[in-house]
Structure 1
Amino acid sequence: MSAPGLGGPLDELADTARRIHDAIESVIEGKSAAVRLTLTVLLAEGHLLIEDVPGVGKTMLAKALARAIDCPVRRIQFTPDLLPSDITGVSAYNQQLREFEFKPGPVFANIVVGDEINRASPKTQSALLECMEEHQVTVDGVTYELEAPFMVIATQNPIEMEGTYPLPEAQRDRFTARIAMGYPEPAAELEMLDVHGSSSPLDKLQPVATSAEVYRLIEAVRGVYVAPGIRRYAIDLVTATRQTPELRLGASPRATLHLVRAARAHAALSGRDYVIPDDLQDLAVPVLAHRLLPSSEAQAGRRHPEQVVVDLVRRVPVPERS
């Protein structure tokens, strides 16, 4: 498989990504895979959903990424009484100017950290739909562009927990990937007691990259080569989720686009300027599973979408190298 070389941009990407990765890992111990996926989503121009029980470091991971990049960062604490205008902004009447002026909401930042997104009502959650898909906000008929790079990192608690609302399907589909932090290993938890016991390591975390650097890396990732056979393989994987009887809702065409974008970033972080089937296979579960709805039979058999995706990856034929 031949591919146009990226040379310098890939070298810069590896160096900058390593600095960001190390900075985050200085705060989040023992979660290298979660940190790598977070960087993958950032470079794929996507958005990340972090789902797990309280207290395992979801918000800490989001804050660590935000601190590691020197760019505007805003945090939204989602609560049941939060309104859509509290996120996007509002047009307020200025008595002195005798006209309405727009007061931007917290979504006007390069990185938006949405804490416990599923504690807000579906109406408020939907305020992020336009922002995440089109990188713009429309208020009172006027459209305002969001500055690039733009990434939403949202945390949520499992839906079984008290006081949570399920994310609408359209909202879940706009998140490029979902990860679960999981409990730390005993050694990592012991180290956490030593490091976090007296002060928060976030206080010592200094920016190691700028928004301009990150944007250059995103542009480099766009140039990663995806062969026709690899694109066909991505489509085959997504199509398989729509045809299996174990799922009543398969992945959307947007999921195919997100899978290929994430695969480009995954390849670049691996030092390659071309995508291979392994990139798609490694990302299939985090990119596809949260968009899928199991059938009643699958639910009765306690078959989760993640398990279904793993089985589909095993069954879908891998393209031959060319």
Structure 2
Amino acid sequence: MRGAFAAAVIDWQRRAGRHDLPWQRPRTPYRVWVSEVMLQQTRAETVIPYFARFTARWPDVPALAAAGREEVLAAWSGLGYYRRAIHLHEAARRIVERHGGALPRDLEALAALPGIGRSTAGAILALAWGEPAPILDGNVRRLLARWHAVEGWPGRAAVACRLWALAEGHLPRRDVAAYTQGLMDLGATVCTPRRPACAACPVAFGCEARRRGDPCAYPAPAPRRRRPRRRTRMLVLRRGDGRVLLARRPPAGVWPGLWSLPECAPGDDPEAWCRVHLGFAARTEAVLPTVRHAFTHFELEIEPLLLTVEGAAAVGEGQVCWVGGEETQGLALPAPVRAILGRIGA
């Protein structure tokens, strides 16, 4: 039965799988790696334009390693989960330093690089070189959990261990790249989280969850936890020349290293805050519409205030700067901040 599973996946992928994704033409180790990192927690439709721009600008590992972090973050701006970009850049530099600029063809060496876990390393080996390495991304977890009716939430160690064993057990000896791509394609287009197209599934013949009549019961969802809500106030400080003040965020925490708007606590007097923390006077003009942004572990509620700054209002270099017009297009800005600036035409 297990051999039949792999054979059916391979046959289906060749007939009906995805063959026109940009990272498949050409399918190099570098392009596979960049795509796999971008695809973590992000749909292919969203990734495609980012991938095209990113690889056109940095077509190989040495080019990415030579780039500045600010450039990389700016190219990633809007894709979210920015630590992925930081890890990608750090890994490229490490590959140049330790592996001669080429991705290592070894599971342990790949998994040791920043941002590359066991599943991503397996995907690179399987897709780029046809090496028999298992993967277990979200789509594959769902597919295997349903086919074997694996009970429990995959985030639990015992369940994850069981799914990894099944992933290894299904690996074919040949056509590993087609098989691996087939798993991804099935999870993305057929065995979807809701309303799976079981009638079109090439492995429906042995799916235990389908036999039990409730495929969507597998895998079990994560335990429900109410995400806490945090509030902050962002200050849109605009000078007479239309330029807006941005502040670089710290290297750790939310939006690490990105440019953002100065923040103060919701209960603070914003004008007094500017005098104390920035050394210049500002006058409150308007309260802008509230912006809400969901993170994995909490929800952020942003109250933007528009303030007018008189005079040049010079600031120190480095962590704060005045920007205007098209300058913001080349900066790494979180999506909510870019949306706020868009509302005032900055």
Q: Same fold (TM over 0.5)?
A: no
Question: What TM-score results when the alignment is normalised by the length of structure 2?
Answer: 0.23
Instruction: Please say which structure displays the higher CA radius of gyration.
Output: 2
Question: What TM-score results when the alignment is normalised by the length of structure 1?
Answer: 0.24
